A and B are shown apart, each in its own frame.
Chain A
Amino acid sequence: MKRKTWLLTCLLLLLFTADAGAADIMSFDIFGPAQNKVNILVLPARGPGGPGTSALATSFSNQVQNDIGYLPFMHLAYMNEILGGDPSKGLKADDIDFKPLQLGRIDFVVTIGGRGQEIEARVYETYSRKLLVGKAYSQVDESGVPHVADRFCAQLMRVLTGKSGFFDSTLAFSKRVNGGKELFTASALGRGLTQITRDGGFNVSPSWSKDGGRVAYTNISDKGHRLGIWSRAHRSSQLRKFPGNVAISPTFAPDGRIAISLSLNGHADIYMLDANMNTGPALAPSWGISVSPSFDLTGRKMVFCSGRLGGPQIFLLNRDAGTVQRITYEGTYNTRPSLSPDGRFVVFARLTGDGQRIFIRDLVANQERQITFGPGNDEDPSFDPDGYFVSFASTRNGGTKIFVTTRYGDAAKQIPTGPGDAMAPAWGVAPALD
C-alpha cells in the first residue's frame, strides 16, 4: 500500500516537473514575402545524344523561356548563375544535383528532353525535389512547338497559382486595315492572329461574352453607329441599327445580355438589351452622358464613365440597390473603366500632365495607384479573366500597340499583333482561334 502510494506520488511529481521544465516556444509572424518573384531555371534541352542534340527540344525550351518572360511573378534565371554549370545528367530528379540550384536560390527547375517528334518536360521544386509538372507531347512538329509550349506553361501556372487565364484566354482588339479598323483576335502571347470582321468602316470597342462565343462591338461608318455581334460558331458578324445617333461601348453582362450606350433621349445613357435586342429602362439615368459599362462576374456591380457631375468620372452602380457611387475624385478626365471579375478593382485611364495613364482603384481598401507610366498615351485598360493582368493600348513605341502589365504595375510587355496600329484590347475566356 505504502509503496504504491509513494510510487504514485513520485510519478506525479516527475510528470509535473518534466512539464514545467519544458521550454516555452516563442511564436512570431511574417506577413507577406519580401520578394514577389520566384526564380525559375530552364536547364539545357537534352536529346538522345545529350544536351543540345534535339532541335525540337531546343526550340521548345526557347518558347517556354519566352512564355515565362510574360509572367511578372517569375524571374527567369540563366545557367551562368549556377555554380559549376549544368547540374543535370538527365531529366529526372535522380539525375539532377539540386545543391548548386539551392545555392543559386533557384526555386523551380525545368528539364526538357526531345526524341524525334516527342517532347517531355518536367518542373521540380528545388528544395523538396518534388515533381510539380510532368508532361509528354507526341507528334509535335516545329510549327506546333509554340502551342505546346503555351500548354505546358499554362499547366505550370495552374500548379503554381491555381489560375491560368493568361494562357487560356484570347484577346480581341481593333486594328487598322485599309484606312478603317477591323477586329482581330490573338492569344495573350500574340499567337493565332486572326481577323474576325470585314464590315468596312471602323470597328471599335470589342467585348467578349462570358462563354467566349460572341464579341459585341461598335461599327462606325457613313451609316452611323451600329451594334455588331460576331459569332465564334458561325465565324460571321451581324450589324444592328438603334434609334438615335449614338450606339457605343456595347458590353456583355455575365447573363449574356448586352449593355450599350444609346442616345434615345438626346444624350447617351446605358441600356440593357433583352434577347430580342429591345431596350429596357436606362441603368443609371442622368442628364449627363453615360458610357463604357463593365461588369463583375456576378453582374450585380457595374462601373461606367459619366459626365453627370461635370467632367468624365468613373461611377459604380450597385444594380441590387440601384445606387450610384462616384469612384474617382482625382483628375478631371477619367475614362474607360474595367471592373475585375471579383468586383474589387477598377482600372481606368486618366488624363495626366504627361498624357493618358492607367490607374487602378481598390474598392475594398479605397486606395488608388498608377500602374502605367508611358511615355506617350496609355489607354483602353482591360482586366484578364483572373483579374490579375491588365492589357492596354499604348503609343510608347511609336504607333499604337497592345501591352500587358499586372494590377501591381509590373513592367509592361508588348503583345505581338503584326504591322499596323492595334488598340482597344478585350480579354475573353475562349482559347485562341485555330
Chain B
Amino acid sequence: MQDSRRGTGFVLSLVLHALLVTAGVLNFSFNRSVDMDKPMYSVDLVSLNPSEDPAEGETGEAAGGPPTLAEGQPQEQAAAATPIPPPPAPSAKPVPEPKRDDSKLISEKKVDEKKKPEKKEEKTPPAPPQPAEKKLSKEELLKQALQDVQKDVKDKSKNAKPTAKADSGKDAVAGELAALRKSRGGNIFTAGGTGPGGAGGGKGTGAGGHGTGIASVYGGIVTQLIKIHWRNSTFGREDNLVATLEINIDAQGKITGARVVKSSGNQIFDASAVRAAMETQNVPPPANKNLATLHINFNLQEMLK
C-alpha cells in the first residue's frame, strides 16, 4: 500500500515538475520583451504575404518561407478584385492563346487592362476563336488569364534563370502591395493586419516574429498623430519630464481612453499629454488586439528649435 502511494506520489511529483518547467519556458517565450530599437523593417514586406492558411501565420511557416509569394498572391488578388462566378462552362479553347503574351508581366496593371487579351486574340489567324470570344465574359477572361499567369510563373520558377526569378518575384510583391493599398486605402499595416498574414502579426515576436515590424510602423503613425496635437511650452525644458500614458484604441481607430500610468511628477505636464491623446481622437484602426493598447512616453526634451 505504502509502495503504491509512494509510486503515485513520485509520478505526480515528476509530472508536476515537468509541467512547471514547460510552463516556465513557454511563459518566457510568450512574454519576451520587444526590442524596438532593432531595425526589423525588412521583415515587414515578408509579413505582408497573405498565405492561404491563416494558421500558417501562427506556426510561423509563412513568415519563414518567402518564395511562396507567387502562388498565393494572384488568387488573393483575383478574389479581392472580382466576384468570380463559378467556373465557366463554355469551351476553354481560346485560353492557351493569351498565355504566351501575358506571361511576361504578372503585375496588377496587366490584369486591369481588360481589353488587351481580346486584341491579341484578334491577331491570331485561326478561325475558331471569334465565337468563343464573345461567349466569355470579362471576368471569365480575367480569371483564365490569371490562371495562365500562375501556370507560367510556376514554369518560370522551375526553368528560368535566377535573375528572371527575382524579377517575377519583385513584380509579384509589387502587385500585391498595389492590391493591398488599393483595397485598404493605402494603409499597409491595416492590410497586413486584416489579411491572413495578420494573424501571425498579432502574436508579435511570439509567433512568426513578424508582428514587431507592423507594430513599430503602427506605433510610429500613432505617435506622430498625437505629437501634432501635443502643446506644451518650451519654457523650462531643462526639467526633462517624462510621462507614460496608456492609450486605448477601438477597432475603428478611435482613441477611447488615455490614462497616466507613470506620472512625470508635474500634473500640468501630465495633463498636456492626456489632452494631446484625447484631442487626436482618431488614428488608423489597429491591425490586431495587441495594438489596441499602447504605452506612449511623452518626453520633454531640451533642445534648440
- Spell out A's residues near B (CB within 8 Å): 1-2, 5, 8-9, 12-13, 16, 19-20, 22-39, 73-74, 102, 105, 107, 125-128, 130, 132, 159-163, 342, 360, 362, 365, 367, 369, 388, 407-409
Query: B271: which A residues are within 8 A, CB to CB?
Result: 125, 127-128, 130
CB–CB A9/B19 < 8 A: yes
CB–CB B215/A26 < 8 A: yes
CB–CB B235/A37 < 8 A: no
A2 to B4, CA, bound (A): 13
Query: B230: which A residues are within 8 A, CB to CB?
Result: 30, 33-35
Which residue from A2, A74, A388 sits with its C-beta under 8 Å from B8? Answer: A2
A1 to B12, CA, bound (A): 10
A362 to B304, CA, bound (A): 8
A39 to B230, CA, bound (A): 11
CB–CB A31/B301 < 8 A: yes
A-B contact count (CB 8 A): 163
Which residue from B23, B223, B276, B291 sits with its C-beta under 8 Å from A16? Answer: B23
Which residue from A9, A19, A74, A342 sits with its C-beta under 8 Å from B27? Answer: A19
Query: B229: which A residues are within 8 A, CB to CB?
Result: 34-35
CB–CB A388/B304 < 8 A: no
Q: Render B262-305 as a binary contact track against A, CB cut-off 8 A, 1 for contact.
A: 00000110011011101100000000011101111111110111
A174 to B251, CA, bound (A): 65
- Residue B160 interfacial (CB < 8 Å): no
**Known A5-B16, A163-B235: A24·B290 in contact at CB below 8 Å:** yes
Query: B305: which A residues are within 8 A, CB to CB?
Result: 36, 408-409
Query: A407: which B residues are within 8 A, CB to CB?
Result: 304
CB–CB B31/A19 < 8 A: yes
Query: B301: which A residues are within 8 A, CB to CB?
Result: 31-32
Binding site of B, secondary structure by majority: helix, strand, loop or mixed? helix
CB–CB B220/A130 < 8 A: no
Q: Render B210-242 as a binary contact track against A, CB cut-off 8 A, 1 for contact.
A: 000001100110110011111111111011000
CB–CB A34/B228 < 8 A: yes
Q: How far is the CB of A332 from chain B (nearest CB, A)?
A: 24
**Interface residue ranges of B1-15 to A (CB < 8 Å):** 5, 8-9, 12, 15
Query: A32: which B residues are within 8 A, CB to CB?
Result: 299-301, 303
CB–CB B296/A27 < 8 A: yes
CB–CB B279/A9 < 8 A: no
Query: B41: which A residues are within 8 A, CB to CB?
Result: none
Q: How far is the CB of B37 from chain A (nearest CB, A)?
A: 11
Query: A73: which B residues are within 8 A, CB to CB?
Result: 233-235
Chain B: interface residue count, which band? 35 or more
Q: 10 closest A-B pairs (Cβ-Cβ)? A: A73-B233, A16-B23, A28-B219, A33-B230, A35-B231, A33-B232, A27-B295, A20-B30, A36-B234, A161-B236
Q: How far is the CB of A254 from chain B (nearest CB, A)?
A: 19
Closest-by-CB residue of B relative to A75 is B231
- Residue B36 interfacial (CB < 8 Å): yes
A243 to B246, CA, bound (A): 69
Closest-by-CB residue of B relative to A362 is B304
Closest-by-CB residue of B relative to A157 is B235
CB–CB B12/A12 < 8 A: no
CB–CB B272/A16 < 8 A: no
Which residue from A12, A23, A30, A342 sits with its C-beta under 8 Å from B293? Answer: A23
Closest-by-CB residue of A relative to B293 is A25
A-B contact pairs, 16 of them (CB 8 A): A5-B12, A16-B24, A19-B30, A22-B31, A24-B204, A26-B34, A27-B294, A27-B297, A28-B219, A28-B297, A29-B296, A30-B227, A105-B279, A127-B271, A365-B303, A388-B235
Q: How far is the CB of A68 from chain B (nearest CB, A)?
A: 12
CB–CB B226/A30 < 8 A: yes
Which residue from A9, A24, A30 sits with its C-beta under 8 Å from B296? Answer: A30
Which residue from B34, B223, B238, B267 sits with its C-beta under 8 Å from A29? Answer: B223
Which residue from A2, A23, A161 sits with its C-beta under 8 Å from B233? Answer: A161
Closest-by-CB residue of A relative to B237 is A32
**Known A33-B300, A73-B233: A12·B294 in contact at CB below 8 Å:** no
CB–CB B295/A34 < 8 A: no
Q: How far is the CB of A167 from chain B (nearest CB, A)?
A: 13
Query: A130: which B residues are within 8 A, CB to CB?
Result: 267, 271
CB–CB A23/B289 < 8 A: yes
Q: How far is the CB of A202 from chain B (nearest CB, A)?
A: 36
CB–CB B27/A16 < 8 A: yes
CB–CB B19/A23 < 8 A: no
Query: B293: which A residues are within 8 A, CB to CB?
Result: 23, 25
A409 to B234, CA, bound (A): 12
A161 to B27, CA, bound (A): 46
CB–CB B231/A367 < 8 A: no
**Known A128-B271, A162-B236: A26·B294 in contact at CB below 8 Å:** yes
Query: A388: which B residues are within 8 A, CB to CB?
Result: 235
A91 to B101, CA, bound (A): 79
A159 to B236, CA, bound (A): 11
CB–CB A408/B299 < 8 A: no
CB–CB B12/A33 < 8 A: no
Closest-by-CB residue of B relative to A74 is B233
A369 to B304, CA, bound (A): 9
- Residue B174 interfacial (CB < 8 Å): no
Residue of B16, B219, B236 with most partner-chain A CB within 10 A:
B236
Q: How far is the CB of B275 from chain A (nearest CB, A)?
A: 5
- Residue B80 interfacial (CB < 8 Å): no
Q: How far is the CB of A385 from chain B (nearest CB, A)?
A: 13
Query: B279: which A residues are within 8 A, CB to CB?
Result: 102, 105
Which residue from B26, B226, B239 sits with its C-beta under 8 Å from A20? Answer: B26
Closest-by-CB residue of B relative to A360 is B304
Which residue from B33, B36, B290, B296 sits with its C-beta under 8 Å from A23? Answer: B290
**Known A9-B16, A31-B301, A107-B275: A26·B295 in contact at CB below 8 Å:** yes
**Known A23-B289, A30-B227, A127-B278: A9·B15 in contact at CB below 8 Å:** yes
A71 to B197, CA, bound (A): 53
Query: B166: which A residues are within 8 A, CB to CB?
Result: none
- Residue B132 interfacial (CB < 8 Å): no
Closest-by-CB residue of B relative to A17 is B23
A67 to B88, CA, bound (A): 80
